[in-house]
A and B are shown apart, each in its own frame.
Chain A
Amino acid sequence: MTDPTDTAEKGDTGGKGDTGDGAPPFLEVRDLRVRFTTDDGVVRAVDGINFSLQRGQTLGIVGESGSGKSVTSLAIMGLHRRGRRVAIDGQILLDGEDLVTAPAARVRELRGRRMAMIFQDPLSSMHPQFTVGEQIVEAYQVHNKVSKAAARNRAAELLELVGIPEPRRRLDDYPHHFSGGMRQRAMIAMALSCDPELLIADEPTTALDVTVQAQILDLMRTLQKEFNSAIIIITHELGVVAEISHDVLVMYAGQVMEHGPVEQVFAAAEHPYTWGLLQSITRLDHQLETRLHTIPGTPPSLINVPPGCPFHPRCAYRDVAGPATGTVRPELALTGPGHRVACHLPVAERRRLFREKVTPTL
Chain B
Amino acid sequence: MTKADAVSDATERAGAAGQRRAIDPADELVRLTDVEKLFPVKRGTLLQRTVGAVRAVDGVSFSIARGETLGLVGESGSGKSTLGRLISRLVEPTGGSVVFDGTDISHVSARRMRPLRRDIQMIFQDPYSSLNPRHTIGSIVAAPLRIQGLARRGELRGRVRELLEQVGLNPEHYNRYPNEFSGGQRQRIGIARALATRPKLIIADEPVSALDVSIRAQIINLLDDLRSELGLTFLFIAHDLSMVRHISDRVAVMYLGQIIELADRTSLYEGALHPYSHALLSAVPIPDPASQRRRERIILRDEVPSPLRPPAACRFHPRCWKAQDVCRSEAPPLVEHQPGHLAACHFPEKRSVV
Residue positions of A touching B, CB distance < 8 A: 64-65, 179-182, 209-215, 217-218, 236-243, 262-263, 266-267, 276-288, 291-295, 298-299
Please determine whether A211 and B354 come into contact, CB atoms closer than 8 angstroms: no
Q: Assuming A284-B281, A284-B284, A291-B221, what are 4 further A-B pairs, CB within 8 angstroms?
A: A212-B75, A266-B290, A291-B225, A298-B182
Query: Using Cβ atoms and an 8 Å threshold, which residues of chain B touch A288?
Result: 246
Please determine whether B184 and A298 come into contact, CB atoms closer than 8 angstroms: yes
Pull 27 A–B residue pairs with CB atoms less than 8 Å apart, ordered by A.
Answer: A179-B303, A180-B76, A209-B239, A210-B239, A210-B283, A211-B279, A212-B303, A213-B283, A214-B297, A218-B297, A238-B287, A239-B292, A240-B285, A243-B292, A266-B287, A266-B288, A267-B289, A267-B290, A279-B217, A282-B243, A283-B245, A284-B269, A284-B281, A284-B286, A287-B266, A294-B218, A298-B215
Shortest CB–CB separation between residue B38 and chain A, in angstroms?
22
Q: CA separation between A112 and B249, bound complex, in Å?
A: 50
Q: Does B213 contact A (CB under 8 A)?
A: yes
Q: CA separation between A182 and B212, bound complex, in Å?
A: 26
- Given known pairs A277-B213, A294-B214, the reply for A210 and B288 (CB within 8 Å) is no
Query: Using Cβ atoms and an 8 Å threshold, which residues of chain B touch A285?
Result: 286, 288, 291, 354
Shortest CB–CB separation between residue B239 and chain A, in angstroms?
6
Query: Using Cβ atoms and an 8 Å threshold, which residues of chain B touch A291?
Result: 221, 224-225
Query: Using Cβ atoms and an 8 Å threshold, which residues of chain B touch A180?
Result: 76
Q: CA separation between A214 and B285, bound complex, in Å?
A: 8
Q: Does B216 contact A (CB under 8 A)?
A: yes
Please determine whether B76 and A209 come into contact, CB atoms closer than 8 angstroms: yes
Q: CA separation between A276 and B217, bound complex, in Å?
A: 10
Q: CA separation between A211 and B298, bound complex, in Å?
A: 9
Please determine whether A239 and B284 come into contact, CB atoms closer than 8 angstroms: yes
- Given known pairs A242-B292, A291-B221, A294-B221, the reply for A282 and B213 (CB within 8 Å) is no
Q: CA separation between A263 and B220, bound complex, in Å?
A: 28
- Given known pairs A181-B303, A215-B299, the reply for A210 and B241 (CB within 8 Å) is yes
Nearest-CB residue, chain B, relative to A279: B217
Q: CA separation between A345 and B265, bound complex, in Å?
A: 39
Shortest CB–CB separation between residue A158 and chain B, in angstroms?
19
Shortest CB–CB separation between residue B249 and chain A, in angstroms?
12
Please determine whether A287 and B289 come into contact, CB atoms closer than 8 angstroms: no
Query: Using Cβ atoms and an 8 Å threshold, which residues of chain A touch B225?
Result: 291
Q: Does B203 contact A (CB under 8 A)?
A: no
Please determine whether B299 and A214 come into contact, CB atoms closer than 8 angstroms: yes
Please determine whether B289 and A292 come into contact, CB atoms closer than 8 angstroms: no
Q: CA separation between A217 and B286, bound complex, in Å?
A: 14
Residue positions of B touching A, CB distance < 8 A: 6, 75-76, 182, 184, 212-218, 220-221, 224-225, 239-243, 245-246, 265-266, 269, 279-292, 297, 299-300, 303, 354
- The count of A-to-B residue pairs whose CB atoms sit within 8 angstroms is 132
Nearest-CB residue, chain B, relative to A210: B283
Query: Using Cβ atoms and an 8 Å threshold, which residues of chain B touch A299?
Result: 212, 214
Shortest CB–CB separation between residue A70 and chain B, in angstroms?
14
Query: Using Cβ atoms and an 8 Å threshold, which residues of chain B touch A215?
Result: 299-300
Shortest CB–CB separation between residue B13 and chain A, in angstroms?
8
- Given known pairs A243-B285, A284-B281, A292-B221, the reply for A276 and B214 (CB within 8 Å) is yes
Please determine whether B212 and A284 come into contact, CB atoms closer than 8 angstroms: no
Query: Using Cβ atoms and an 8 Å threshold, which residues of chain A touch B240?
Result: 282
Q: CA separation between A299 and B213, bound complex, in Å?
A: 11
Please determine whether A278 and B287 come into contact, CB atoms closer than 8 angstroms: yes
Query: Using Cβ atoms and an 8 Å threshold, which residues of chain A touch B288?
Result: 242, 266, 285
- Across the interface, A210 reaches (CB within 8 A) one of B265, B269, B280, namely B280
Please determine whether B300 and A282 come into contact, CB atoms closer than 8 angstroms: no
Please determine whether A236 and B212 come into contact, CB atoms closer than 8 angstroms: yes
Shortest CB–CB separation between residue A249 and chain B, in angstroms?
15
Q: CA separation between A64 and B292, bound complex, in Å?
A: 23
Please determine whether A239 and B285 come into contact, CB atoms closer than 8 angstroms: yes
Please determine whether B217 and A210 come into contact, CB atoms closer than 8 angstroms: no
Nearest-CB residue, chain A, relative to B244: A282
Shortest CB–CB separation between residue B90 and chain A, in angstroms?
24
Please determine whether A282 and B212 come into contact, CB atoms closer than 8 angstroms: no
Nearest-CB residue, chain B, relative to A286: B6
Shortest CB–CB separation between residue B108 and chain A, in angstroms?
34
Shortest CB–CB separation between residue A178 and chain B, in angstroms?
10
User: Quick one: which of A218, A239, A280, A284 has the most chain B CB within 10 A?
Assistant: A284
Query: Using Cβ atoms and an 8 Å threshold, which residues of chain B touch A212?
Result: 75, 303
- Across the interface, A282 reaches (CB within 8 A) one of B214, B246, B283, B299, namely B246
- Across the interface, A237 reaches (CB within 8 A) one of B215, B285, B354, namely B285
Instruction: Give the top 3 A-B pairs by smallest Cβ distance, nearest first.
Output: A239-B285, A280-B217, A214-B283
Q: CA separation between A53 and B299, bound complex, in Å?
A: 29
Nearest-CB residue, chain A, relative to B75: A209
Please determine whether B245 and A282 come into contact, CB atoms closer than 8 angstroms: yes
Please determine whether A284 and B242 come into contact, CB atoms closer than 8 angstroms: yes
Query: Using Cβ atoms and an 8 Å threshold, which residues of chain B touch A179?
Result: 303
Please determine whether B283 and A242 come into contact, CB atoms closer than 8 angstroms: no
Query: Using Cβ atoms and an 8 Å threshold, which residues of chain B touch A236?
Result: 212-213
User: Quick one: which of B215, B240, B291 has the most chain A CB within 10 A?
Assistant: B215
- Across the interface, A283 reaches (CB within 8 A) one of B6, B212, B283, B287, namely B287
Q: CA separation between A64 and B245, bound complex, in Å?
A: 23
Query: Using Cβ atoms and an 8 Å threshold, which residues of chain A touch B239?
Result: 209-210
Query: Using Cβ atoms and an 8 Å threshold, which residues of chain A touch B297?
Result: 214, 218
- Given known pairs A238-B287, A276-B214, the reply for A284 and B354 (CB within 8 Å) is yes
Query: Using Cβ atoms and an 8 Å threshold, which residues of chain B touch A263?
Result: 289-290
Please determine whether A211 and B283 come into contact, CB atoms closer than 8 angstroms: yes
Query: Using Cβ atoms and an 8 Å threshold, which residues of chain B touch A182?
Result: 303
Please determine whether B284 and A64 come into contact, CB atoms closer than 8 angstroms: no
Shortest CB–CB separation between residue B29 and chain A, in angstroms?
24
Query: Using Cβ atoms and an 8 Å threshold, which residues of chain A touch B285?
Result: 213-214, 217, 237, 239-240, 242-243
Please determine whether B214 and A64 come into contact, CB atoms closer than 8 angstroms: yes
Q: CA separation between A236 and B217, bound complex, in Å?
A: 14
Please determine whether B217 and A281 come into contact, CB atoms closer than 8 angstroms: yes
Shortest CB–CB separation between residue A45 and chain B, in angstroms?
17
Query: Using Cβ atoms and an 8 Å threshold, which residues of chain B touch A209?
Result: 75-76, 239
Shortest CB–CB separation between residue A291 and chain B, in angstroms?
5
Shortest CB–CB separation between residue A279 and chain B, in angstroms?
8
Please determine whether A287 and B245 come into contact, CB atoms closer than 8 angstroms: yes
